[in-house]
A and B are shown apart, each in its own frame.
Chain A
Amino acid sequence: MPGNIEPSELLQRAKDGDKEAFGELYRLYFTPIYRYLFIRLRSRERADDLAQDVFLKIFAKVETLREIPLAPLSYFFTVARNTLIDFWRKKKDLSLENENETAAKVPDGGADLLENLARAEVAAKVRQGLAALPAEEAEIVALKYFGGLSAREIGQSLGLSEEAVRQRQCRALKKLRVIFK
């Protein structure tokens, strides 16, 4: 399938039963959704499971969609957020046993130890910073910087105006700057 087809067109084709179009959407959106879920959950395994759930849910109901969302990425992220909220509701006692799990895999032998330590330190700082932010600001940072959504798409997903999203993004970055120092 050619790679220049618009995501909304791919979603329309998936709705019409074209499995390959859905496979293309999977290929396009899996990584951003996985990254978003990872930064919110801090667990590879859970992020992987939930990302699979997101795509299975959409796959199961794509043929029954009344109308195709204009911004499919927002739609996918809305499903991802709902899946995450459901997960948190079910696991209220979610422990942070994987809190120390860093995003970066330790490179093979010969890598600079100091560089690895620095990476782990940055990851820990990011984690710490996101945990310190108010829930809405943390969500905006996760969607913007890890999910790759635009302010407009975040606004559609959270029910906020573009301006309101940027305002919260700005405040969050200021707070993170203090934590990173």
Chain B
Amino acid sequence: MDNEKILIQALEMEENGKSVPEILALFPEAAEELKEMFAVSEILAQEKEKIMPPARTLDKVVTSAAMARYINQGETKGRPRQPINLIIFKIMKSFWRTVVPVGLVAVAFLAVVYYQHGQTLTGQNQSANTAVPLKVDVQKGKTDIQGVDLPAGPLTASDVDKVANDLVNDYASEGAVFDEEDANASLVTSDKEAASELGGIYNPNEF
């Protein structure tokens, strides 16, 4: 068996709990090399022992373990587990115990105000956009549109045509009135222009 195989086997034995003298006794032909290898292992093992986590880290471990114990306390004693929000509240520092509830109330208040404001705006928009329904009193043959009447009794297709025609005529006559007003306005404008022109050519010293 070559030395490397012996060294590998020795490492396995050491890991399985055999002492170094026992291993050396098993492989006398490689004893020197084994001694040097185990000396290196020993140096590394000693160096490992010198490395310890900082005290504050150990504190964190203890704190987290204590916190875990606190959280599980209810179950350990047979009581139901406390709600997580209550646990968080108990763990919080006094500053946050004040700030967090106040903040939550403020957020809720703002949310309500915002919601109500939104509702008001929506209501206004709806009233602006909603068409007023046409009121029709079939029995009396009346509508709420001025000048448009219906015959009394049940409505027929010809009645609907009549109402439509009345409405069209009504809008047509209104259009005619608007046209007439426009014509009058243009006449006034042309009169003003004529007067202005006359003023421009009139010379009082001429006569």
Residues of A within 8 A of B (CB): 18-20, 22-24, 26-27, 30-31, 34-35, 38-39, 44, 48, 51-52, 103-104, 119, 122-123, 125-126, 141, 145-146, 148, 150-151, 163, 166-167, 169-170, 173-174, 176-177, 180
Residue pair A23, B68 in contact (C-beta under 8 Å): yes
Report if A169-B11 is in contact (Cβ < 8 Å); known contacts: A31-B52, A145-B48: yes
Q: Which residues of B contact A52 (CB under 8 A)?
A: 57, 60
Residue pair A145, B45 in contact (C-beta under 8 Å): yes
Question: Which of B21-29, B36-44, B113-121, B150-158 is near enough to bind chain A?
Answer: B36-44
**CB of A44, distance to nearest CB on chain B (Å):** 6
Which of B40, B54, B65 has the most CB atoms of chain A within a 10 A radius of its CB?
Answer: B40
Residue pair B40, A19 in contact (C-beta under 8 Å): no
Residue pair B57, A19 in contact (C-beta under 8 Å): no
**CB of B92, distance to nearest CB on chain A (Å):** 17
User: B72 near A: Cβ within 8 Å?
Assistant: yes
The one of B40, B65, B72 in contact with A27, judged by C-beta atoms closer than 8 angstroms, is B65
Residue pair B53, A51 in contact (C-beta under 8 Å): yes
Which of B15, B47, B52, B67 has the most CB atoms of chain A within a 10 A radius of its CB?
Answer: B47
Q: Nearest chain-A residue to B36 (Cβ)?
A: A177
10 A-B pairs within 8 Å (CB atoms) are namely: A19-B72, A23-B69, A27-B61, A44-B54, A122-B43, A122-B47, A125-B43, A151-B15, A173-B37, A177-B37
